[in-house]
Amino acid sequence: MRCSPDDRSIFLAAQALTRSCDRLDVPINNAGILPDRGLNLLNISRDMLDLTMHTNAFGAVSVTQAFLPLLAKAPAARIINISSKYGQLDSLSASVPAAYGLSKLALNGTTIMLADTLRSQGLAVYAMCPGWVRTDMGGVAATRSPEEGADTAIWLATEAGPELSGKFFGDRQEISY
């Protein structure tokens, strides 16, 4: 697990990209941690809640702020936030890792608020769940390949319309927050 999300590295990355590109079309906020398997709100530490929230939810805010000048130069930029069904209101329960679930709930809220904030600038913002994917986080028993997990992100990046901004997707379909 990483020690701490690093805003400075985000802004340095934006500076570096500005030197080599004249616009940014589709940033995907994919970075995420799930450090609290087996923990619940009665035994999780405040530090773990903070770290998970900062990485999974507020990281997407920092990325948006840092890359906004480059996004504004794209004709129809779209931001894709990789969330999880664990953050759906109906999913929040004692069996969901507490920090992870709350952080994805916050990332979904971030998506709604950023979409509204950026609509007048012609920028779209989407949230999506990739499903259970065979990665370090998902483990070898997961039901989907990384390619299958990425399918909805590719659809959002290339085909979804601006009228869908602010919504949450799984398998190319809108799903409930």
The amino acid present at 167, given as its one-letter code, is K
Whether 86 and 102 have beta carbons less than 8 Å apart is answered as: no
100 is catalytic: yes
**Residues at the contact surface with ligand NAP, assessed by CB under 6 A:** 2, 5, 30-33, 55, 82, 84, 129-130, 132-133, 135-138, 142
User: 66 vs 82, which CB is nearer to ligand NAP?
Assistant: 82
Alpha helices in 32-140 (DSSP H): 46-53, 59-71, 98-118
Run of H or E residues at 28 = strand 28-29
Residue sitting closest to ligand NAP (CB)? 32
Closer residue to ligand NAP, CB minimum distance, 22 or 136: 136
Q: How far is the CB of 75 from ligand NAP (least distance, A)?
A: 27
Residue 120 C-beta: closest distance to ligand NAP, Å = 28
CB of 41 to ligand NAP, least distance (A): 19
Give the separation between CA 154 and CA 169, rounded to whole angstroms.
12
Assigned token pair, 25: 């079309």
Identify the DSSP state of 120.
Answer: G
Whichever of 70 and 100 has its CB closer to ligand NAP, that residue is 100
Closest by Cα among 103, 54, 65 to 82: 103
Please give the positions annotated as active site: 100
